[in-house]
Every structure is written in C-alpha cells, then in structure tokens.
Amino acid sequence: MDAQVSKLLDFLRFASISTDGAYAGDVKQCAEWLARLLKEIGLETQLNATAGHPVVVAKNTHKPGRRTVLIYGHYDVQPVDPLGLWTHPPFEPHIEHEVIFARGATDNKGQIMAHILGVQEALSRGDLPVNLIFLIEGEEECGSTHLERFLSEHREQLRCDIIAVSDTGMVGRGIPTFTYGLRGIAAMEIKISGPAMDLHSGIYGGAVANPITMLARLLATLHDADGRVAVEGFYDGVAPIEEWEKEAWAKVPGGDAELIKLTGVPRLFGEAGYTAREQIWARPTAEINGIGGGYQGLGTKTVLPGEAFAKLTFRLVPDQQPAAVIEKVRKHLAQHVSQAVRMEIKSGHGGEPYLMNPNSPGGLAAQRALKKTFGRDVALIREGGSIPIVQSFKKVLEAETLLLGLALPDCRAHSPNENFPIENFRAGIRLNQALLQELSAF
Ligand code: BES
Ligand code: ZN
C-alpha cells in the first residue's frame, strides 16, 4: 500500500468522536498525531488548547506579496452507532474495491488529509505558491462551539485573503462540484416529565398522563399535513430560491429516482411545491434526531415512564437566525404542551446559513481548479448540511469560503460503513495543488 493511503489509515484509527466526553482522550491523541504530521511535512505547527477540544494551526513560511489561503477542516467524527450495522469495526479502516471504509473516511479525515498530502507533495518539489494556514478543529461535529472565540482571539494570526474547505459533496462520481451555500442549524433538547418515578401502568395508567404520549403529541405539532413547519413565524426572512438556481439545479445529474435508491425510502416526502433538491438545499426543516423514554429492553415491561426526551435540530436557510428560530420554537412548544406534564427545554449549538456568489473571483478560481482536476464542467450547487464556522469566517475573518468537497452521494457520512474511494482521495491531492495555484493570483 502506498504511503499516502497508509497515512490516511493511521488518521482513521483514532476514535475522535467529539460529542461524547468518553472519547476526549482519543480526540486529544488524534490532534497530537495530526500536529506531529504537519510539523514533519515542514509547517510551523501549534496545538492550541480550548475550553473544548484542541485546534491545530499550521503555516508555511509566509512571504510578503503572496496571497494567504486558509484551509479549514476537522479531525473529529460523528458517533458510530448503530455499531451492529458496520461490516468492519469503524476505527479499523478496511479497503475493498479501492474504497476505504471507516468512520471519518469522507467526513472529514479523507478530505483534509488530501489537502495535507497535496501540500506535502508541493513542498517536496519546492515552495508553495501562497502563504498557507491550516486550521483543523476537533468540534465541527458538535457545533464548533469554541472555534468562533478562537478565531476572534487569533484574528491576526489567521488573517487571510480566502478560505478553502473540502467538507461538502460531489453530485456524482467524477463530477466536480462547487458548493456556494450551506444550511445553518439550531439544536435543542426537550425533556417531558410527569410522575416523580416510573409507575406501574396498570395501577396508574389512565389517570396519569404518559410523558411519551405527551411528547409524541407535542412533536407532531411541529409540522402540518403538507410537511411544512407549523411554528409561527418559522419562515420569516426565508429568501426565495432564485430562478437561475432552479434552472441550474434541474440540470444537475442525479434526481429523485437516485435519491430513492440511495436512501431506501419507499417514496419521497416533503414540503409541497419544491423539488427534492430545492427542499434539501434551500428550504428550512425541523428534524427529530432522537427520541427516548420508557422500557427499551427485551420482552415487555408495563411501565408508565416518569420522563421522555427528544433531540431536535432545525436546518436554516438565508436569512434565518438560529437564536430567533429557537425562541419561536420555544414559544410554540410552550403553547402546545399538555398541562398534565412538565417540560424542560435546553437549547444547543447553532450556526448561521451561508451563501456566496459563485462567480466571485475566488469562486471562479475554485471552479477553474475543479475543472482542471476532473477534466469536466463543474456543477454549481448548495448543500443541505451545515459547517457552522463558515459564516463565522465571514464575520470574524472577513473572508469568503470556497467549498470544494469530495464526498460522494453514497459515502454514508454519519452512517454505518462510511467510505471514501481512493480515487477521490487522489483527486483531492491534485485538487489541492490546482487550487493553490489558482488562488495564488485570483
Ligand atoms: N461535512 C459535513 C457538512 C455537510 C454535509 C456539508 C453534507 C454538505 C453536505 C459536516 O461535517 C457536518 O456533518 N456538519 C454537521 C454540523 C452540525 C453537527 C453542527 C451537520 O451538518 O450535521
Ligand atoms: Zn459531518
């Protein structure tokens, strides 16, 4: 196996799950390993502690008169559950038919490693054409909670002309894809409690409200029958999709049939009047990511549970604001919850949506690099996922972010059997070099 693939496999062996404190040691070891690697390839590297997981910053020798490019990525990954559905253990990378399987293979270790190795190759031939800054964090998958503060505190050190990120998708194999918009996000948890303890459902059931039933009713009020979010004012400020976007998206390969095949659903669903792509890329949503309470073990247990919980996230589009959306949802929940139970709401991380002009000088430079790397015309899209720090880059560093992702539709990011083709890894290494060349004079 070649040295580049083997480096990626080493990176993938760290269980750097950021959201679960039990893995904090693995996250730290992963950051230390990454910092060593960046140092070994000749970059001046710092491993910065934060109130959360460490941030790795690495730079080449900056020279006056050159453009400064910041490449952002993340070394943390999502949890692996349901573990039983992985065909190989998630942190023991496995290659089959030239595809690497492991948690983080695509999101984001494979993609950021391609940038690092692209830089390593270029450095081994001489100098880079730009002043480069790598900023690689360990909290992207749980909302980048401490990174905005880090940006403000290191604004001078991170000052740059443009930012590049490979943490988005390609619309199909071999189709270069430039993403000019991301959805934002707002997270919250709801706890419904009733009786002070779990009760016998025969002795008390009927007279005491069941927290799971009350939670289910409450969650059902979030949408109307047509799939629209029923929270008052939720769509305030939502920018309409522009005509040129509708036309461009309709031509992007891979339509509804492919979506049905990829996801395994019997049919698509959602807000009337929008295509699936429009729904995913440019319309806001309310999603229940987890629900719990009551007996989950084998057999039956006649319990009337003391409490039930749900984890929610809202995907936001320009010009919705996470804090305002959370307030509207809080009000909605308070109005709709049964008086026979108590409700606690905890709001979580938030990130603003992002939208840029794909025809800006930086956007055009990125598209040229993509076209050169893949030898084909570039698809222009928005994405439904979120990278919360991207909008903060604009606010704090006052720089535009170019999103040139390499994730394939069937990469299974956040799911069991996440994977990244070696072909995309190699394309990423070439893309890094084409991009730095284009950005040296955009
Ligand atoms: N790489 C994704 C973001 C993404 C996914 C962009 C799909 C485009 C298409 C990123 O690592 C991610 O998963 N972000 C989280 C952020 C959240 C936990 C705050 C997301 O979107 O759920
Ligand atoms: Zn992710």
Determine the Cα angle at 103 with ends 99 and 105, to 5°. 40
Amino acid at 24: A
The alpha carbon torsion through 164, 167, 171, 175 (nearest 10 deg) reads 50
* Ligand 1 touching residue 358 (CB < 6 A): no
Residue 389 to residue 351: CA distance in whole angstroms: 7
Average pLDDT of span 83-99: 98
Quick one: which ligand is closest to 139's CA?
1
Are the beta carbons of 334 and 221 closer than 8 angstroms? no
pLDDT digits (tens, 9 = 90+) for 297-349: 999 999 999 999 999 999 999 999 999 999 999 999 999 999 999 999 999 99
The full set of domain ranges for the chain reads 3-183+354-439, 184-238+284-351
* Ligand 1 touching residue 278 (CB < 6 A): no
Q: How far apart are the first and last CA of the chain?
A: 37
Using the structure block, give the residue that is written with the tokens 């749980």. 142
* Ligand 1 touching residue 168 (CB < 6 A): yes
Examine the pLDDT at 393 and tell me if it is beyond 80: yes
What pLDDT shows up at residue 182?
98
What pLDDT shows up at residue 259?
94
The fold of 3-183+354-439 is: Aminopeptidase (3.40.630)
Q: How many CB atoms lie within 10 A of CB 2?
A: 8
**What spacing in Å lies between the alpha carbon of 31 and ligand 2's midpoint?**
17
* Ligand 1 touching residue 138 (CB < 6 A): no
What pLDDT shows up at residue 408?
97
Residue 205: band (very low, low, confident or very high) from pLDDT cuts 50, 70, 90: very high
Residue 254: band (very low, low, confident or very high) from pLDDT cuts 50, 70, 90: confident
Average pLDDT of span 161-171: 98
Q: Hey, whose CA ends up nearest to atom 13 of ligand 1?
A: 141
* Ligand 1 touching residue 59 (CB < 6 A): no
Average pLDDT of span 20-35: 98
Please tell me the total number of residues recorded for the chain in this structure. Answer: 442
CA 31 to chain centre: 19
Percentage of the chain lying above the pLDDT 70 cut: 100
Residue 405: band (very low, low, confident or very high) from pLDDT cuts 50, 70, 90: very high
What pLDDT shows up at residue 255?
84
Average pLDDT of span 214-228: 96
* Ligand 1 touching residue 388 (CB < 6 A): yes
Average pLDDT, the chain: 97
Give the neighbor-by-neighbor strand order of the sheet with 419-421: 94-96, 99-101, 419-421
**What spacing in Å lies between the alpha carbon of 175 and ligand 1's midpoint?**
20
**What spacing in Å lies between the alpha carbon of 127 and ligand 1's midpoint?**
33
Examine the pLDDT at 1 and tell me if it is beyond 80: no
Examine the pLDDT at 175 and tell me if it is beyond 90: yes
* Ligand 1 touching residue 418 (CB < 6 A): no
Report if pTM > 0.85.
yes
* Ligand 1 touching residue 387 (CB < 6 A): yes
pLDDT digits (tens, 9 = 90+) for 343-368: 999 999 999 999 999 999 999 999 99
**What spacing in Å lies between the alpha carbon of 409 and ligand 2's midpoint?**
13
Determine the Cα angle at 290 with ends 289 and 291, to 5°. 140
Please report the DSSP string for 65-78 in residue order: TS-EEEEEEE--B-
Kindly tell me the burial class for residue 50, based on how many C-beta atoms sit within 10 Å of its own C-beta (0-12, 13-18, 19 or more).
middle
The number of the ligand 1 atom at minimal distance from the alpha carbon of 78 is 13
Cβ neighbours of residue 157 closer than 8 Å, sequence gap 6 or more: 57
* Ligand 1 touching residue 107 (CB < 6 A): yes
Amino acid at 176: P
Domains 3-183+354-439 and 184-238+284-351 share a fold: no
Cβ neighbours of residue 181 closer than 8 Å, sequence gap 6 or more: 281, 282, 318, 353, 354, 355, 356, 382, 383
**What spacing in Å lies between the alpha carbon of 360 and ligand 1's midpoint?**
24
Quick one: which ligand is closest to 418's CA?
2
* Ligand 1 touching residue 169 (CB < 6 A): yes
What pLDDT shows up at residue 284?
98
* Ligand 1 touching residue 143 (CB < 6 A): yes
Please report the DSSP string for 113-147 in residue order: HHHHHHHHHHHHHS--SSEEEEEEES-GGGT-TTH
Q: How many CB atoms lie within 10 A of CB 209?
A: 18
* Paired strand residues for 419: 101
**What spacing in Å lies between the alpha carbon of 104 and ligand 1's midpoint?**
12
The number of the ligand 1 atom at minimal distance from the alpha carbon of 179 is 8
Q: Hey, whose CA ends up nearest to atom 20 of ligand 1?
A: 386
Tokens coding 435: 């991009």
CATH 3.30.70.360 fits 184-238+284-351, yes or no: yes
Examine the pLDDT at 25 and tell me if it is beyond 80: yes
pLDDT digits (tens, 9 = 90+) for 112-139: 999 999 999 999 999 999 999 999 999 9
Examine the pLDDT at 281 and tell me if it is beyond 90: yes
E strands within 273-366?
285-293, 303-304, 307-316, 342-351, 354-355
* Paired strand residues for 421: 99
Residue 115 to residue 269: CA distance in whole angstroms: 37
Average pLDDT of span 220-237: 96
Quick one: which ligand is closest to 354's CA?
1
Amino acid at 239: A
Examine the pLDDT at 421 and tell me if it is beyond 90: yes
